[in-house]
Amino acid sequence: MQSGMTWLKDYMATAKSGELAAPPSAWWIVTRACNLKCYYCFADARKRDPDELDTAGAKAVLDDFADSGVMFVTFLGGEPLTRKDIYELVDYSTDLGIYTALLTNGLNVRPEKIDKLVDGGLEMIGVSIDSKDDAVHDAVRGVAGSLAGAKGTIRHAIQRGLRTSVRIVVSEDSYPAIPDLFRWAIDEGVEELILLPIFMVGRAAGGAEDRRADLVGKQLFLSTLERLRDIGEPLGITVPQQTRLACPQGIELRAPDHELHHAGHAVGFEQSAGCKVGRFMVSVQPNGDVFSCPFVHAKVGSLREQSIVDIWQAPLLRKARAEDMGCLARSIIHTGRADVTDPTYVRPAAEMLAELPLPGTAPAPAPVAEQPFFPVDGLSLASHRARAVTSPTRS
């Protein structure tokens, strides 16, 4: 750890103990408007919500965050760059002293847009990629040219000295390409790779096999971490491993002594390992409602009516601080409730899979070669296209 980061390590340790008056971090879906159509979108982003916070309302939330001690804000969507005031919000947030990041799909992000974000003080930009193959990535995203746009955004951000992150949702579509994407990110000078399991929430939800898809998707995610560990070790890159939780995992791709290594962000990730609900973060919705996590669709408060300090004392968040509950998104997926322990955290996956009936009367399919799973409805674009055929009202 670099010198000068002791204060942040101590701060994050206090957060982990649940003793802070407000969350260190807020992941803010500033809009549900989006120019892509990803089948697994946790926010079910399509178009702008009619009650989306306006500029004044958003600034009021940022004022409350700054007054309450929230240190990190990540703007996401949807596509946050569809908001005309996003540059003003970035500038306002950074002027308040908040470490500000933004997640984008990279489509139609011209260099001057990145320059404007940098000029506004943006500290980090994250871009999602699903495959090294344009045809696969663009099909998953639903728009031709989206991979080219993502790569162009990444390259210009790196040139401007922004901490740049590549984010990959582990699905049947992305799984074969992840080792090559890992190497590509290293070669490009990307500072961080973030792997995310696919969650059966938002647009991904609604299939007959959501519980099975969650269990298999979790195993797929854990297997991917193991694969990348074997690739990273000879390169001096540490890939953290998980065994029970399967929470989004950051992987630092640059050595701590690299001139562009952003030590503060790295320390934040290191110290907040594991489930962040109730200790490290909240998720803000476009209208100011607050969820405990982007993947836990259960309201705990509203920033239109309450301060973040008051919301931080919501019963669900206090319970998450007091108990080791696993992943609350999976609690909802498997039990319909966010306030109970995640079954996949305390029970073997094989045992739970054996209890789930297969759709129809067909026998269990055989595993696909070199993939530790068999195809399951919900984990691939093909399965979602099949859903659309059988349920044409779902778009």
According to DSSP, residue 359 is labeled S
Cβ-contact 32, 53 below 8 angstroms: no
Q: What's residue 262's pLDDT?
A: 55
Structure confidence by residue, pLDDT tens digits, 112-150: 999 999 999 999 999 999 999 999 999 999 999 999 999
User: Is the pLDDT score of 378 beyond 50?
Assistant: yes
| pLDDT grade for 388, boundaries at 50, 70 and 90 | confident
Mean pLDDT computed over 1-20:
74
Residue 136 to residue 51: CA distance in whole angstroms:
35
Cα angle: 312, vertex 201, 301; to 5 degrees: 20
User: Is the pLDDT score of 364 beyond 60?
Assistant: no
| pLDDT grade for 7, boundaries at 50, 70 and 90 | confident
Neighbours of 329 (CB within 10 A): 27
Residue 117 to residue 157: CA distance in whole angstroms:
10
Q: Which of 162-176, 189-203, 343-357, 372-386 has the lowest mean pLDDT?
A: 372-386
Cβ-contact 158, 164 below 8 angstroms: yes
Helical residues (DSSP H) of the chain, grouped into ranges: 6-16, 55-68, 86-95, 111-119, 134-141, 146-159, 178-188, 210-232, 263-271, 308-311, 315-322, 328-335, 343-346, 349-355, 381-390
Structure confidence by residue, pLDDT tens digits, 263-320: 555 555 555 566 889 989 999 999 999 999 999 999 999 999 999 999 999 999 999 9
Q: What's residue 64's pLDDT?
A: 98
Range with the largest mean pLDDT of 253-267, 344-358, 378-392: 344-358
Structure confidence by residue, pLDDT tens digits, 191-235: 999 999 999 999 999 888 999 999 999 999 999 999 999 999 999
Q: What's residue 173's pLDDT?
A: 94
User: Is the pLDDT score of 394 beyond 60?
Assistant: no
Mean pLDDT computed over 36-58:
96
Structure confidence by residue, pLDDT tens digits, 73-113: 999 999 999 999 999 999 999 999 999 999 999 998 999 99
Neighbours of 93 (CB within 10 A): 26
Rg of the chain over Cα atoms, rounded to whole angstroms, equals: 20
What's the mean per-residue pLDDT of the chain?
A: 90
| pLDDT grade for 2, boundaries at 50, 70 and 90 | very low
Neighbours of 119 (CB within 10 A): 12
Structure confidence by residue, pLDDT tens digits, 325-350: 999 999 999 999 999 999 999 999 99
Q: What's residue 1's pLDDT?
A: 37
